[in-house]
Amino acid sequence: MQIVEFTAGSLRFADAVPPQAPADGFVWIYLERPELAARLPELQAAAQRLGGSPLLDVHAKDLANEAHPSHYDATSVYDLVIFRRLATVAEGQRDASAQAPIPSAFARIDSRAVGFAVFDRLLISVHPPGCQTAVGFIERLAADARLSVDATAITRTRMPQAPADLALHMINAMVDSYLELRKELTRALEHAQGELLRPDPPQDTWGALMHARQRLHLLQELCEEQQDAMQEWLDTLRELPLAAYAPETPLAQHRRDQLMARARDVMEHIDRVLHHARRLEQSAETVVQIHFSAQGHRTNDTMRTLTAVTAVFLPLNLFTGFFGMNFDHLPLIHSTAGMWVALALLIALAAGILVLFWRRRYLSRKQ
């Protein structure tokens, strides 16, 4: 469990939960989900002391549930936000280890639940093991704070002003990880499309494509759940009175506008991910249709060739069948040159039919 105090544009790491929240800042407590059960009494005491109320038992269970969907709930004291982030590369590789032919990009379309309990001056976040969202965010903020103190320069990253602002920063980073995966997903799907358009696609291509479609359905469901959760939170932020943001009315209005703008930005990013997932799913459906169209075209081409060959030999069979009848009086039947004349007629007939078919492009691949 890590404890960070944010005060007046700076931050400080603490070894223990402070007795009270800073007057001009807030406290962030973040921990990994496996240690939540052991730290829950300490966490409840900190929530009571710094936030004014302990976590409800049902909300504590929600934070501990790694399979919980994206969700929003509120009490009179704090907001609870469950947001599912994208699996990391290592997590995606572990998930795909049992299904080797599946492209790693689509194997990464899996999610891990991150929970936030947002108080007025306290933020509690529960992350899956090895989550880089919180660690990377803290490292960036710490580097900016050191730059500001040592070099007296303007910080590159604006320090969060409130627990809700910090939570929205991390949620926005989670959504951006989905956006960063778009090019990889597009390349993987294009590769599967190229394989399916080959005359003899590999056996595992269909399985990989079906898995990709399932993952894209999962991504759409994740985005819809995220949209619902963020929309409910945005409605709550919009309905809160100005006194909930700051005592001074101009500052309160500014902070509320900032939070709502960031929440709308997160919603817009989720919309972009959802739009891209739907476009990829349409592309997957299109490549299946193109595959069957190409297969039908190849079948038609083969049948056209076989039909033309049959049409060439059918008159020849009729010709030979005529001279094979058991009659004594047939043309050329007793002539010494009859066989050569018949052979020449057969060749001429076959050549005439081939020329006719070629001129009508029955034997040509270019239609």
Residues 190 and 329 in one domain: no
CB proximity list for 144: less than 8 A, separation 6 or greater: 155, 156, 157, 159
Does residue 76 form part of some domain? yes
Q: What is the pLDDT of residue 94?
A: 54
Q: What is the pLDDT of residue 150?
A: 46
Higher pLDDT, 243 or 154: 243
Residues 13 and 44 in one domain: yes
pLDDT tens-digit map of 179-206: 777 777 888 777 777 777 777 777 677 7
Residues 233 and 353 in one domain: no
Q: Name the band, by pLDDT with cuts 50, 70 and 90, for residue 340.
A: confident
Residues 283 and 321 in one domain: no
Does residue 186 form part of some domain? yes
Residues 165 and 219 in one domain: yes
Q: What is the pLDDT of residue 101?
A: 44
Residues 188 and 306 in one domain: no
Does residue 316 form part of some domain? yes
Task: Please state, in angstroms and rounded to a whole number, the distance separating the CA atoms of residues 226 and 233.
Answer: 11
Does residue 69 form part of some domain? yes
Residues 13 and 151 in one domain: yes
Task: Express as a percent the part of the chain with pLDDT over 90.
Answer: 16
For residue 37, the Cα-to-chain-centroid distance in whole angstroms is: 32
pLDDT tens-digit map of 139-158: 777 776 555 544 434 444 56
Does residue 117 form part of some domain? yes
Residues 180 and 305 in one domain: no
The CA-based angle 136-142-146, given to 5 degrees, is 145
Q: Where are the alpha helices (DSSP H) in 197-248?
A: 205-239
pLDDT tens-digit map of 79-136: 999 998 887 766 655 555 444 444 556 766 778 899 999 998 899 999 988 787 777 7
CB proximity list for 78: less than 8 A, separation 6 or greater: 47, 51, 53, 55, 117, 118, 119, 122
Range of the domain at 23: 2-294
Residues 73 and 111 in one domain: yes
Q: What is the dihedral of CA 264, 265, 269, 274, to 10 degrees?
A: 10
Does residue 366 form part of some domain? no
Does residue 268 form part of some domain? yes
Residues 41 and 169 in one domain: yes
Strands (E), 214-342: none
Domain endpoint, select from 247, 274, 294: 294
Task: Please state, in angstroms and rounded to a whole number, the distance separating the CA atoms of residues 71 and 62.
Answer: 9
When divided into structural domains, the chain yields a total of 2
Q: What is the pTM of this model?
A: 0.70
Task: Please state, in angstroms and rounded to a whole number, the distance separating the CA atoms of residues 119 and 78.
Answer: 5
Does residue 365 form part of some domain? no
Task: Please state, in angstroms and rounded to a whole number, the distance separating the CA atoms of residues 168 and 154.
Answer: 22
Q: What is the pLDDT of residue 54?
A: 93
Where residue 326 sits, what CATH number does that domain have?
Answer: 1.20.58
